[in-house]
Structure 1
Amino acid sequence: MRELGRRIVAQFVVDRRVLALAFARMADGVGNSFLIIVIPLYVASDVVGGATFGLEEAMIIGIILSLFGFLNSSVQPFTGRLSDRLGRRKPFILVGLGGLAATNVAYVFAESYLSLVVIRGLQGVSVAFIVPASIALVNELATTRDRGGNMGVYNTFRLIGFGAGPVAAGAVVNLGPYELPGGATISGFEAAFYVAAITAAISYAMVTVLISDPDSTEANAGADLSIAVRDRNGPHLLDPIFTLGLASLFMAAAIALFATIQPQVNARLEQGSTWFGIQFAAFIVAQIVLQTPIGRACDRYGRRPFIVGGMLLLIPATLVQGFVSSSETMFLARLIQGIAGAMVFAPSLALAGDLAGEGESGSKLSVLTMAFGFGIAIGPFASGALIGYGFEVPFVFGTVLAAFGSILVYTQIEETLETAAPVPIVGGD
C-alpha cells in the first residue's frame, strides 16, 4: 500500500513552477467554470433587463457563453506570438488573471443583457492571454524526457478546477442571500461573482510569488514565429503541428456535441437531469484520472502511439452515443470518450512542444489550444443544427470528424521521442 502511494505521489513530482502554475490554473478554473452555471441563471433572473434586439432569452444565453469561446480561441495565436516576440510569459498570465478578476466583479454591476455580452467577451480575451503563455511556460520548463508528464500534471489540476466549479456554483446561488458583518447582505448571484473574482485573485498572487520566466525564454525571443500549413522539411503534405491542431479541432467538436442536447438525450433514454449530469461528468473524470499517467507514459513509450490510439478509440465512442438505449451505456460511452481524449491531449501538446524551436512555444502550442477551443464552440452548434434530422445524426457527424482526424495523425505525424528509456523524475527548479 505504501509503495502504491509512493508511485501515485511520484506521478505529480515536477518542477515546482509547473506545479505552482497548475494550482493557479486550478483556482482560476473553479471561478471561470462557476460562470457556466451562474450566467444562464443570472440572465433568466429579474436582475438583468434591457434591450434584447429581438432575440429570445435562450439565444442571448447562447451568445454570451459562445462569445467567450470564440474570442478566446481567436485571440490566442496573437497573444502567443506576442509572448514569443517579447520573450516573456509571466506578464501575459498576470494580465489575463487581472482581467478575469476585474470582469468577475463587473458582473455585480451589470444590469443589461448587452453589458453581460461585453463583460463575457472581455473575459474571453483575458483567458486568451493566459492559455498560450501558460502552456508555453510549462513546455519551456520541461525537457523531451518529461514534457508529457508536465503537460499531464498541468492539465489534471486545471480540469479539477474546471470540474469543481459547476458543482459548487448552483449551491452558492441557491443558498443566498448572505448576511455580512455589519448587517449588509449580498445575493447568491453577487456571492458567486465574488467567489469567481477571489479565485482569480488567488491565482494572480500565486503566479506573482511562485512563477518566474526561464532565462532562455527572453534570450530566444524574436525567432521565426510563422505557422506552417505545409510540411516544409519533411515527407508529408501537412505540417505536423498544423495536423495536430486539426485533430484537436475534430476531437473537441466530437466531444462537445453532447453538451447542448440534454432534452433529446433525456427523452430518448427516459432519464432525468441527474443522469445527464453524471454522463456529462464522465468525460471530465476520465481526463482528471488519466492525463498525468498517460503524460508520463508518452515520455517513456512515445507520443504517436497514444495520439493515434486515442483518435481511433474516439470513433466508436462517439458513434455508439447515437444508438444507445440505456443511461448506463451512455455513461460508458462518455467515459471511453474521456479516455480517448486523455490519450490525445497531453501527448499532442508534448509532441508539439518537442517540435517547437527555442522561443516558439507560445506560437506553436497556441495552434492546438486555439483549435481545441474552436472545437468546443463548434460542437454544440453542430449538434443543435443536426439533431432535428434524427438523434443519431450529430454523433455520426462527430464520428466522421474523428475518423478524418485519425487518418491525419496516422499519415502526417512522426514520432519525436528517439528512445524509450526510463523517464527520470525531476523536482526542484
Structure 2
Amino acid sequence: MRGLLDRLVAPFAVDRRVLALAGARMADGIGNSFLIIVIPLYVTSGVVGGTAFGLGESLIIGLILSLFGFLNSSFQPLTGRLSDRMGRRKPFILVGLAGLALTNAAYVVAETYVSLLVIRGLQGVSVAFIIPSSVALVNELATSGDRGGNMGVYNTFRLIGFGAGPAVAGAVVSRGPYVLPGGMTVDGFDAAFYVATVAATTSYVMVTVLVSDPESTVANAGADLSIPILDRSGPNLLDPIFTLGLASFFMATAIALFATIQPEVNARLEQGATWFGLQFAGFIIAQVALQTPIGRACDRYGRRPFIVTGMVFLIPTTLVQGFIFSSPLMFLARLLQGVAAAMVFAPSLALAGDLAGEGESGSKLSVLTMAFGYGIAAGPLSSGLLVRFGFEVPFVFGSALAVLGAILVYTQVEETLEATASVPVVGSD
C-alpha cells in the first residue's frame, strides 16, 4: 500500500504522509459536510421530538449547526497546545476521527432535539482534535521551500471532500429507503448517517496505516507555547501570527456572508435554488483549483505578496455582490472572491508555519484555524442581522473588514522568505 501511495504522491511533489493525511481529511470532510444538508432535513421530517426550548424549527436548526462551529473553534487552541506539550500529532487526529465516527453513528438513534445538540456538540469537540494537529503535522513534514505547496495540497483535498458531501447528501436521503442483503431496510436518513460514519472510519484507517509523527515533533515537545498579541522582537506593534489570525477572521466573515441570505439573493436576482447553489459552489471551485498552485507559487515568490494581494482583491469582490442584479455576474463575483481567499489561506498558513518554532506548530497555527472557524460562524449571523437594513449592507460590512485586514497585513506582517523571482503584485517590497 505504501508503494502505491509513493507512486500516487509523485505528481503532487509532497511527502506521502501529507498526501495520506489530505486524503483522510477529504474522506472525513465528505461525511461531515453531509450533515450540513441532512440535519435540517432530519429536524423538519417529523422524526425528532421532545422539547425545542420554545424555539422554532429554523432557530433550532441554526443552533444545532452553529454549536459545532463554536465548540470546534473554541477548543482548537487547547488541543493544539496539548499536542505541542505531548509532542504528538497522530494520536490527537485519531481521537478526533474516532469521536467523529461514533457520533455520526449516534444520529441513527437520536430522536430528540437535546440528543441532536449533544451529538453535534461532541462532533465539534472531536473535530477540534483533528484540525490543529493535522495542520501542525503538515507544517512539520514540510520545509520552508515547499511549505506553501504542502498546505495547498492539503487544503485542496479537504475542500474537495467538503464540497462533494452536500452535492450527494440530499440524493442519498430522498432515494431511501434502501433494501440491504438479507431483507433489512434502511431509510434515507439512516443511510446518510452510515455514509458519514464510513467516511470517518475510512479516514481513521488511512491515518493509522499511512501517517506518522516526525521525530522532530517528539524531540521538541514543550517549547514556548504562548500566543503573544504584541510583537515581542520585530519592528511592528502586533505579533505577525496574531495579525494573520485577525485577517483570517475578517476574510472568513466576508466570504460567509452569502450563506444565510438565500431568500433575499434569489428574490433580488429573480432566480431559483439551482442558481444559488452554483453561486455558492463558485467560491469552492476557485479554492479547489487554486490552493495548490498558489501554495507552490508562494514558496517561490514569498508569502506576504500573495496575502496582501488576496486581502486587497477581497474588497471589491465582496462589495460588488451587494450591487449585482444578474445571476451569472453573481456567480462570477463568487468565483473571484474564491480566488482572493485562495491567495490568502495557504500562504498565511505557510507564513505562520515559518514563524512557528520547533514544537510550536499546534499552538501557533491553531490561531489561524480558530479565527477562520469563528469567522465562518460570524458571517451568517452578521448578514442575517444586517440585511434588514438593505441588501447591500452586509457586503459593505464585509468589504470594510477586508480593508482592515489588508491594512493590518501590509503594516504588521513581514516576509519570511527571500523571493527567488520577482512578481508584480500589490504589497510586494
Report the TM-score, using the length of structure 1 for normalisation: 0.96
Question: Residues 125-155 of structure 1, C-alpha deviation per residue, up to 9 Å, x if partnerless?
Answer: 0000000000000000000000000000000
- Matched to 1:372, the amino acid is F
Query: CA 1:10–1:318 in 2, change beyond 3 Å: closer, same or farther?
Result: farther
Q: The residue matched to 1:258 in structure 2 has which SS?
A: coil
Deviation at residue 53 of structure 1 after TM alignment: 1.2
Within a 5 Å distance, the mapping from 1:359-374 to structure 2 comes to 359-374=359-374
The match for 1:63 is 63
What count of residue pairs does the alignment treat as equivalent?
415
Within a 5 Å distance, the mapping from 1:37-52 to structure 2 comes to 37-52=37-52
Distance 2:230 2:46 in 1: 53
- Matched to 1:150, the amino acid is N
Q: In 2, are the aligned partners of 1:152 and 1:346 still within 8 Å (CA)?
A: yes
Question: Residues 407-428 of structure 1, C-alpha deviation per residue, up to 9 Å, x if partnerless?
Answer: 0000001100024179xxxxxx
Within a 5 Å distance, the mapping from 1:6-405 to structure 2 comes to 12-405=12-405
- Matched to 1:216, the amino acid is S
The match for 2:415 is 415
Distance 2:267 2:300 in 1: 45
Q: The residue matched to 1:246 in structure 2 has which SS?
A: helix
Q: In 2, are the aligned partners of 1:11 and 1:296 still within 8 Å (CA)?
A: no
Q: The residue matched to 2:126 in structure 1 has which SS?
A: helix
- Matched to 1:154, the amino acid is Y
Question: Residues 368-394 of structure 1, C-alpha deviation per residue, up to 9 Å, x if partnerless?
Answer: 000000000000000000010000000
Question: Residues 327-361 of structure 1, C-alpha deviation per residue, up to 9 Å, x if partnerless?
Answer: 01111110010000000000000000000000000
Q: In 2, are the aligned partners of 1:11 and 1:293 still within 8 Å (CA)?
A: no
Distance 1:419 1:312 in 2: 21
- Matched to 1:162, the amino acid is F
Q: In 2, are the aligned partners of 1:180 and 1:186 still within 8 Å (CA)?
A: yes
- Matched to 2:59, the amino acid is M
In structure 1, the gaps of 5 or more residues are 1-7, 423-429
Distance 2:168 2:283 in 1: 19
Question: Residues 162-216 of structure 1, C-alpha deviation per residue, up to 9 Å, x if partnerless?
Answer: 0000001001000000001111101100000000000000000000000000001
Query: CA 1:346–1:163 in 2, change beyond 3 Å: closer, same or farther?
Result: same
Question: Residues 60-96 of structure 1, C-alpha deviation per residue, up to 9 Å, x if partnerless?
Answer: 0000000000100000000000000000000000000
In structure 2, the gaps of 5 or more residues are 1-7, 423-429
Distance 2:28 2:315 in 1: 32
Aligned-pair identity in percent equals: 79
Distance 1:146 1:137 in 2: 14
The match for 2:426 is none
RMSD of equivalent CA atoms: 1.2
Deviation at residue 9 of structure 1 after TM alignment: 8.6
- Matched to 2:326, the amino acid is S
